[in-house]
Amino acid sequence: MSYKKLKPIKGLLFDKDGTLFDFHSEWHIPAMEAAMFVAEGNQALANRMLLSSGYDVKTGVFGSGSLIAAGTALDILRCWLEVKPSERSWEELVRKTDEIFRDGTDPIAAQVTDLNQWITDLKARGFVIGLSTHDSFEAAESQLSKVRAFELFDFVAGYDSGHGHKPGPGMLNAFCKHTGLDASQVAAVGDNTHDLGMGRSGGAGATIAVMTGTGVVEDLQPLADFIFPSIVEFGAALQEARG
């Protein structure tokens, strides 16, 4: 396989969950905990809410491109409240759900590789590094800090950072504005179609899919320039492309 297309890339804009962190090893517990909170401890109701958003508790499978895998906390809550409205205020539901998603994962165990060392190596090779996630900014800061990687990022945007949501181009546009890069110099890297859609809609120089999340090849292939098992293989390809 040739990686010539990656040669002009100067910026790397990563998704978080499913890309830097293995989705399946980190999200079962917080997804259930959040649903149980919204369902007020009713297990059967929580299971129905999760199923409506794309997570089948019986099989343990997160649907490719589903709300629970790719949506924001706001998207997920709206879906769950269609199953059964809550007497809690919207503000309380959002605050607590964001808190559960922030604290309910184990980023050290879930990181696909030693992110501190891996990103340090990328920066030493001259790449500008960004993050665009549908998690909150606070969750991104907390989880990346736990793996000693937050300070290595030149740009971090969550769903609540004011740059819009994927697959829209807002987070890519903001990364480019912040760093001075042109979109054609940036690779958008993610595990789901909304990550790749952001890259396509924003004119990214390359769209890179990884298989450490919920995306499946059939869905990713039409939007991806390259598909890799993980960011580790992608990093090796960048090395090869630069010689």
Hey, what amino acid is at 130? G
pLDDT tens for 81-120 read 999 999 999 999 999 999 999 999 999 999 999 999 999 9
Q: Is the pLDDT of residue 53 over 70?
A: yes
Whole-number Cα distances in Å, 77 to 21, 94, 117, 197, 214: 23, 8, 36, 23, 20
Q: How far apart are CA 97 and CA 118, in angstroms?
A: 30
Q: For residue 122, what is the enclosing H or E element?
A: helix 115-124
Band of residue 7 on the pLDDT scale cut at 50, 70, 90: low
Coil, strand or helix: which one is 75? helix
Per the CB < 8 A criterion, the answer to whether 182 and 199 are in contact is: no
- What's the confidence (pLDDT) of residue 242? 61
Q: pLDDT of 148-206, one tens digit each?
A: 999 999 999 999 999 999 999 999 999 999 999 999 999 999 999 999 999 999 999 99
| All structural domains of the chain with their residue ranges | 4-22+109-242, 28-104
What local confidence, expressed as pLDDT, does residue 97 receive?
Answer: 97
Q: Quote the percentage of the chain above a pLDDT of 90.
A: 92
Q: What percent of the chain has pLDDT over 70?
A: 96
Assign 2 a pLDDT band (cuts: 50, 70, 90).
very low
Q: How far apart are CA 8 and CA 186, in angstroms?
A: 9
Tokens 């949506």 belong to residue? 71
- Provide the pLDDT for residue 1: 41
Task: Count other Cβ atoms within 10 Å, centred on residue 159.
Answer: 24
- Rounded Cα distance between 176 and 47, Å, is 40
Scan for tokens 């019986």, then name that residue.
Answer: 58
Architecture of the CATH domain 4-22+109-242: 3-Layer(aba) Sandwich (3.40)
- Spatial separation of the C-alpha atoms in residues 114 and 108, rounded to whole Å: 9
| Residue 128 φ/ψ, nearest 5 degrees | -95, 135
Q: Which residues contact 41 (CB under 8 A, 6 or more apart)?
A: none
Q: What would you report as the CA-atom Rg of the chain, rounded to the nearest whole angstrom? A: 17
> Does 128 have pLDDT greater than 60?
yes
Per-chain mean pLDDT for the chain: 94
